[in-house]
Amino acid sequence: MKLKNQVCSFKLAKKLESLNIKQDSLWWWCECQGGWGVFSVENKCKEEKSYAAFTVAELGDFLKDAPVQVMSVWIKGKREWSCILNTGMDDTHKIADTEANARAKMVCYLKEKNL
């Protein structure tokens, strides 16, 4: 599996940082030669702006106390990932192309709603 499918997207990494999620990850989105790429914490750009590229496991840690369920689903013939906040009456679904992105969207949602 490609690394980019195991960490949250650049867009979601920026959003998580803007929501003041602690930037502590094994992987980082860094700007390199005019583009953004994922680098290990050991090779992280020190001078340039960088964003934590949280892994599925790291995002799962943020969600450990929330009643969430993550599953692979098929939508219009395409595999997607769903992260569901089970609240009983009105469940909240976050759908994304990777499990990491579905989890990242849920972390953003919970932070924005102060849950």
- pLDDT value at position 37? 87
Q: How far apart are CA 101 and CA 105, in angstroms?
A: 6
Domain count for the chain: 1
pLDDT score, position 4: 80
Contact 70, 77 (CB under 8 A): no
What pLDDT is recorded for position 67? 93
Q: What is the predicted pLDDT for the residue at 32?
A: 77
The pLDDT value recorded for residue 110 is: 95
Give the model's pLDDT for residue 66: 93
Measured CA angle at 10 (ends 4, 12), to 5 deg: 110
Contact 42, 28 (CB under 8 A): no
Identify the segments of the chain with pLDDT beneath 50: none
pLDDT at 23: 93
Containing structural domain, residue 69: 3-112
Look at the chain and count its residues: 115
Supply the pLDDT for residue 91. Answer: 80
Q: Does the predicted TM-score (pTM) go above 0.85? A: yes
Predicted pLDDT of residue 27:
95
